[in-house]
Structure 1
Amino acid sequence: MRILRSLLLGVLLVPFHLQAAQVEIHQPWLKETIPGSENGAAYLTLTNTGSEPLTLVGASTAAARLTEIHHHRMADGMMIMEQLPELILPVGEPVVFQPGGHHLMLFGISQPFKPGDTVDFVLQFSDGNEVTFTADVRSIHD
């Protein structure tokens, strides 16, 4: 019993450091939902302010059944969209999510997004850290 107590006390005294991902999020937004659509996309700029590259491995929102990291690229003269299993955020270099480029693709949205709404998101990183942010919904005419 004394050994178990000593062991537990030793574990409690070991410093425990869980540092949040060092990332700045700028101008997060979504366009309002196109009538009849159950999907959407979110845009933002991420800047890694840490000293090591960060790896974004996922995103989620309660406003959609599924959220994936996507990007557009040209293939055989056609623009295609594809899922990215991860996205490296280099130190100090902004990574822009914008129409026609990187974006967070939302599938199965629970309610249409309207201008003035806000949507909460969580970004997941390979080191286990998570970062939350809120995006504003803009008009499809903006």
Structure 2
Amino acid sequence: MNKVLASLAVLGVWGMTLSAVQAETAAKPVAANTIKVYSPYARAVPPGQMNSAIFMTLVNPSKTPFSIKAASSPASKVTELHTTLNNNGVMEMRQVPKMDIPALGQTVLKPGSLHVMLIGLKQDMKVGEKTSVTLTFDDNSQMKFEVPIQEVAKPAGMNGMGHSAHMH
């Protein structure tokens, strides 16, 4: 009888541990199913210009922070995560390894700031047309969506520097 009770007690503890692990695993949200994308758009550029950018607002309604670790697009040969920095009055674009989306927060990709850089365009970026982008998150989940191409005003302080002047 004691062996049976001891065995049941061990099984009960193991079962509670397994249930806790399953609950923890099930409770962790998947970025691609959690992050909401608002107002995505790509910068329209004249034919022959080799680079463009994609902008959007990313909202994270969960209590789990996420990051974008990569992006890809059929519109370009290379797609990178970028930011724009003011280096002694000169606006410079730099590749970043990730873009954080805080828990219960948002990250805004906009001209003159964070953006998805399209390098070596493989399609014309004409107003009214569309392209697509796939974001890869830190949990390796992916989100693909269409992006309308729009005219974008240059942000203050860019001094006429467009993405065509980008240096790596």
TM-score (normalised: structure 2)? 0.69
1:10 matched to which residue of 2? Answer: none
Give the letter aligned to residue 39 of structure 1.
Answer: N
Aligned to 1:135: 147
In the TM superposition, what are the counterparts of 1:104-115 in structure 2 within 5 Å? 104-115=116-127
In the TM superposition, residue 76 of structure 1 has moved relative to its aligned partner by 2.3
CA–CA separation in structure 1 for the residues paired with 2:86 and 2:50: 25
Residue identity opposite 1:125 in structure 2: F
Given candidates 91, 106, 127, the residue that maps to 1:79 is 91
Give the structure with the higher percent helix: 2
Q: Greater CA radius of gyration, 1 or 2? A: 2
- Aligned residue runs from structure 1 range 7-86, under 5 A: 20-21=30-31, 22-86=34-98
Mark the runs of 5 or more structure 2 residues left unpaired by the alignment: 1-21, 155-168
Q: Which has the higher strand share?
A: 1
Question: 1:4 — aligned with what?
Answer: none
Equivalent-residue separation in structure 2 for 1:123 and 1:117 (angstroms): 20
Q: Could you say which residue in structure 2 is the equivalent of 1:3?
A: none
RMSD: 2.1
1:118 to 122, 130, 140: 130
**Equivalent residue of 1:94, what SS?**
strand
Instruction: Identify if the C-alpha distance between structure 1 residues 140 and 94 changes in structure 2 by more than 3 Å, giving closer, same or farther.
Output: closer
CA pair 77-141 structure 1, distance change in 2 beyond 3 A: closer
Residue 37 of structure 1 aligns to a residue in which SS?
A: coil
Deviations 1:18-53 (A, max 9, x none): 964110000000121234211110110001122211
Contact 2:29–2:62 (CA<8 Å) still a contact in 1? no
> How far 1:80 sits from its partner (Å)?
1.2
Unaligned runs of 5+ in 1: 1-14
Q: SS at 2:86's partner residue?
A: strand
Q: Distance in 1 between matches of 2:116 and 2:56?
A: 9
Letter in 2 for 1:49: P
Higher relative contact order (CA 8 A, sep 6+): 1
Paired positions, count: 128
The one-letter code sitting in structure 1 at the alignment partner of 2:149 is V
TM-score (norm 1): 0.81
Look up the equivalent residue of 1:122 and give its one-letter code: T
